[in-house]
């Protein structure tokens, strides 16, 4: 049974009661923005006495932060909810109440379905309503029935979420933009996250300064469509992402910047120039193209052509020749022919990617693509994906191999698997393993890359570097 904290005397007529000691288990699916949201919800619930734990069976509250991009991810949520029902029943038999909450995009899209299929769930909260969690938890404690909040409120959650951030590692994530106005045919984000909203520059800078104060040396800016950022600047003007990055590069102690995920339609010349002009902006760009076929891109409502993407890549490479490119691909979109797929393979072969993420098309109810004719048979989708992934795997191996012999600065992020080994991150986002003391965690270290593995690099230390990224042949 959850216990109330002791009463501490303050003076003769006043006493302070600590919040009840409660345990919170959070499970997160999906993108890094969901990870960011989970951290913020954990902080939001801390004043109510909730402390995070790893084991759901010992939790007074279980929060599932969900993703709706893939059908399989949605079904995993319902599978987990089935197990949580049994856990909740077992705890109730011991007199231990349990709150089960579903957050994220599945909550937003399928709140009614959750209520129907999993009536033991206490709370369903959409991504724009996280700031209302304390009120919903209070109602759940009063046994007020299922709490559902999937509104798109006039105020943004960024205005109301707490500012405090706990201790961070060397790498931190900071959401600067949320929602999307693009309405790609296959995507649920505009329906689950709403229209594009950008945080003011002052709020972003303040949070970055707090993150650096608790140990962050690298910050990745997050957004469903991050390069559509259009936040109000301190001068009253609307700032784009390039100007925001330039301001963040001035934060003392912040050595590295990244951003994800971008859209080709919002990759403007100012942002491309930032890759040339800002030493803190790492030589890595994740720019989803989705397909190399113009016919499929039109069906996807992407608003760009394959040649548009090629021209952007050419500009980026001219601005930053050592750039590592990353992208997303969907194969088997409704109507995709063999010729369309070959166009995708051609674009991949011509471009060359350091890493990429590829998936078969997954039908999402309510999206335009779900009703489009020409659904590609699952076996054909799978065969195309296997061929594409084999090419992408070869390109990733080739890129990693090309790094062998390079001298670069890496950011040490923690200890590694073996004693005496530390883990770091390269400028191109690869994990790096090297021998060294744990005292180097959080520092920039000059290394020579000695070997390449499928998903990481091996390096040896040449010396410490505290001044930022420098590279030599």
Residue 105 annotated in ligand binding: yes
**How far is 166 from 161, CA to CA, in rounded Å?**
14
Closest by CA to 266, choosing from 299, 223, 296, 234, is 223
Residue 67 annotated in ligand binding: yes
Answer whether 241's CB lies under 8 Å from 210's CB.
Answer: no
Structure tokens belonging to residue 74: 């949605």
Residue 187 annotated in ligand binding: yes
**How far is 125 from 128, CA to CA, in rounded Å?**
8
Residue 403 annotated in ligand binding: no
Residue 408 annotated in ligand binding: no
Query: Is residue 311 exposed (0-12), middle (13-18) or buried (19+ Cβ within 10 Å)?
Result: middle
Query: Is residue 121 exposed (0-12), middle (13-18) or buried (19+ Cβ within 10 Å)?
Result: buried
**How far is 185 from 293, CA to CA, in rounded Å?**
15
How far, CA to CA in Å, does 411 sit from each of 47, 261, 429?
A: 33, 22, 10
Q: Which residue has the tokens 């140990």?
A: 215
Closest by CA to 304, choosing from 327, 323, 321, is 327
**How far is 99 from 88, CA to CA, in rounded Å?**
8
Answer whether 411's CB lies under 8 Å from 171's CB.
Answer: yes
Distance of CA 374 to the CA centre of its chain: 32
Residue stretches of the annotated binding site for [4Fe-4S] cluster: 31, 67, 105, 180, 184, 187
Residue stretches of the annotated binding site: 31, 67, 105, 180, 184, 187
């Amino acid at each position: 049974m959850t216990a109330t904290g002791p009463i501490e005397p303050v003076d003769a007529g006043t006493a302070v009661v600590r919040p009840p000691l409660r345990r919170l288990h959070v499970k997160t699916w999906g993108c890094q923005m969901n990870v960011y949201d989970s951290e913020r919800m954990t902080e939001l619930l801390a004043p109510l006495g909730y402390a995070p734990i790893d084991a759901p069976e010992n939790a007074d509250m279980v929060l599932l932060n969900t993703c709706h991009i893939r059908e399989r991810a949605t079904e995993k949520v319902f599978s987990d909810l089935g197990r949580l029902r049994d856990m909740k029943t077992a705890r109730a038999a011991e007199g231990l109440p349990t709150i089960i909450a579903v957050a994220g995009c599945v909550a937003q899209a399928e709140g009614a379905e959750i209520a129907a299929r999993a009536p033991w769930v206490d709370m369903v909260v959409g991504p724009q309503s996280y700031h209302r969690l304390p009120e919903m938890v209070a109602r759940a404690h009063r046994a007020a029935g299922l709490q559902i909040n999937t509104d798109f409120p006039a105020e943004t959650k960024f205005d109301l979420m707490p500012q405090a951030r706990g201790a961070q590692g060397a790498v931190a994530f900071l959401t600067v933009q949320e929602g999307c106005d693009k309405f790609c045919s296959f995507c649920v984000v505009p329906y689950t996250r709403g229209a594009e909203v950008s945080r003011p520059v002052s709020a972003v800078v303040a949070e970055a300064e707090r993150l650096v104060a608790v140990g962050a040396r690298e910050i990745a800016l997050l957004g469903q469509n991050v390069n559509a950022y259009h936040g109000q600047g301190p001068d009253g003007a609307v700032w784009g992402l390039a100007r925001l990055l330039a301001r963040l590069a001035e934060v003392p102690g912040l050595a590295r910047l990244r951003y994800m995920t971008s859209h080709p339609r919002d990759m403007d010349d100012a942002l491309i120039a930032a890759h040339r002009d800002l030493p803190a902006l790492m030589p890595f760009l994740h720019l989803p193209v989705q397909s190399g076929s113009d016919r499929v891109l039109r069906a996807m409502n992407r608003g760009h052509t394959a040649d548009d993407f090629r021209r952007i890549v050419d500009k980026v490479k001219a601005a930053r020749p050592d750039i590592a490119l990353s992208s997303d691909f969907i194969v088997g979109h409704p109507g995709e022919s063999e010729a369309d797929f070959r166009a995708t393979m051609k674009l991949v072969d011509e471009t060359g990617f350091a890493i990429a993420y590829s998936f078969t098309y997954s039908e999402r109810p309510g999206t335009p693509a779900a009703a489009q004719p020409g659904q590609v048979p699952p076996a054909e989708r799978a065969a195309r994906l296997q061929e594409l992934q084999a090419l992408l795997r070869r390109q990733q191996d080739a890129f990693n191999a090309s790094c062998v012999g390079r001298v670069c600065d890496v950011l040490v992020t923690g200890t590694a698997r073996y004693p005496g080994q530390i883990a770091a991150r390269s400028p191109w986002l690869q994990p790096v393993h090297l021998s060294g003391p744990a005292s180097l965690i959080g520092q920039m270290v000059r290394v020579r890359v000695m070997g390449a593995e499928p998903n990481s690099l091996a390096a040896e230390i040449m010396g410490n570097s505290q001044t930022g990224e420098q590279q030599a042949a």
